[in-house]
Structure 1
Amino acid sequence: MAEPTTTNGVAPPIRPMYSRVLLKLGGEMFGGGEVGLDPDVVAQVARQIAEVVRSGAQVAVVIGGGNFFRGAQLQQRGMERTRSDYMGMLGTVMNSLALQDFLEREGIATRVQTAIAMGQVAEPYIPLRAVRHLEKGRVVIFGAGMGLPYFSTDTTAAQRALEIGAEVVLMAKAVDGVFTDDPRSNPDAELLTAISHREVIDRGLRVADATAFSLCMDNRMPILVFNLLVDGNIARAVAGEKIGTLVTTD
């Protein structure tokens, strides 16, 4: 990851634009492109989140499980969809516990809440309790997705953001934002800095899965798509700096 801009070796203070955010992290990034966890990546993400929390912003997190399990691949080999989805949910819990550990090493109180009961390792998902944790300056990580098959962690992020009263969904990716085309195959693809929910649909662009995107559009929830691989970008996103692509209703 690139180094953040500093002054005399000290990172500039953050002035958060948003008071409460939902951060969506892809599980694939936690593995550094491999199966399992890359502790250096998790530690870097934890440091960025800790910086934001110390600025006074409230942070909730949803993490995918793609670094442990890719359900679509096994479904192609004949595995039942519901079983593969539940296996994916367990992968998200492993990522959640890993991030909790690294956040607590940073001195940030963290709670994991899961949609499937796992009393020995996490709290059950209770929206009001999650909000109370956030108000006390704790990070809340939502694991096990929605606890139901056929729902992605993108949809979980949208639903949890709405239920806890987040002001924005911060969609962390391995690219700089939403492009006019796939930048990996089309070098002429242009980064869109701002776009409406409706225009995303009309142009056939992919921001999140259809259910998640519809939830955000119908409830006027903005989505900021940005590059997680640039160190300091989580803080920049929370501060309202012009990074990535902001998707809004208007």
Structure 2
Amino acid sequence: MTNTYKRVLLKLSGEALMGDLAYGIDPTIVQSIAEEVSSVVQHGIQIAIVVGGGNIFRGIRGSAAGMDRATADYVGMLATAMNAITLQDAIERNGTPTRVQTAITMQEVAEPYIRRRAIRHLEKNRVVIFGAGSGNPFFTTDTTAALRAAEIGADVVFKGTKVDGVYDSDPKVNPDAKRFNSLTYGHVLAHDLKVMDGTAIALCKDNNIPIMVFDLSVPGNIRRAVMGESIGTIVGESCEVS
């Protein structure tokens, strides 16, 4: 297969790390992701990862339960750091060097986020995992993914989910839901399609970074997506709605 991309950003939700568990991290899922990420690096593609924390704690749920929203979001950021370090361990056990960079300083376990250092790590074929979101409350890890992708000059954002693309309605509720092969940023925003949050979509639009939404649960899909196979829904400025 021919490499389509030089540098990519992979967005993983915390829920994706749970597998079929009700809470926490499924080691089998993490190992599978680690193997695929290592395979991508072996093909000469630079890969950065932004990971969420919803498998451990979601700030918006904490806020709904009565916590101060900013405090709840900070707790959620710490959860993402736990996931980032877990991913780092699994990827390095596959023989691929990694660095975890966090937006909240925790120097005993991770580097602080420094853009130029992150790019240098990528140039040395190290996987860079970004934890602690953007370091600011009220912003999602989707927005962080779009922000980091723009900062490091990523060619594309890959969003691994539990569905095989973007639908016009929830396919779990509506058996007649239509899956899109491609979409424009404008269509996503105008129809409030659940690709990423609006801020993330706007950031990708402003910086002309395409988004590929694909099913993370299918073995081999990370490698297929990064190597340029059409396996989900692509969102971009020049894409047609289909």
TM-score of the aligned structures, taking structure 1 as reference length: 0.93
Amino acid at match of 2:9: L
State the match for 2:5 in structure 1: 18
Residues 73-97 of structure 1 deviation map (CA, whole Å, 9 limit, x = unaligned): 2212210001100000000000000
Amino acid at match of 2:17: F
Q: Which residues in structure 2 correspond to 1:31-46 (within 5 Å)?
A: 31-32=18-19, 33-46=21-34
State the match for 1:11 in structure 2: none
Do the aligned residues in 1 keep the contact of 2:58 with 2:73 (CA within 8 Å)?
no
SS in 2 for 1:121: coil
How far does residue 38 in structure 1 lie from its aligned partner after superposition? Answer: 0.8
State the match for 2:14 in structure 1: 27
How far does residue 220 in structure 1 lie from its aligned partner after superposition? Answer: 1.1
Amino acid at match of 1:17: T
SS in 2 for 1:149: coil
- Select 2:167's aligned residue among 179, 191, 212: 179
Q: Distance in 1 between matches of 2:185 and 2:135?
A: 27
SS in 1 for 2:10: strand
How far does residue 203 in structure 1 lie from its aligned partner after superposition? Answer: 2.5
Do the aligned residues in 1 keep the contact of 2:13 with 2:161 (CA within 8 Å)?
yes
Q: CA RMSD in A?
A: 0.9
Q: Extract unaligned runs of 5+ from structure 2.
A: none
SS in 1 for 2:55: coil
TM-score of the aligned structures, taking structure 2 as reference length: 0.96
- Select 2:194's aligned residue among 181, 201, 206: 206
Q: Distance in 2 between matches of 1:196 and 1:77?
A: 36
Do the aligned residues in 2 keep the contact of 1:15 with 1:55 (CA within 8 Å)?
no
- Select 1:137's aligned residue among 125, 128, 134: 125
Is the counterpart of residue 78 in structure 1 residue 74 in structure 2? no
Do the aligned residues in 2 keep the contact of 1:23 with 1:170 (CA within 8 Å)?
yes
How far does residue 149 in structure 1 lie from its aligned partner after superposition? Answer: 0.5
Identity percentage over the alignment? 54
Q: Extract unaligned runs of 5+ from structure 1.
A: 1-13
State the match for 1:220 in structure 2: 208
Most deviating of 32-41 and 141-150: 32-41
Q: Distance in 1 between matches of 2:231 and 2:221?
A: 8
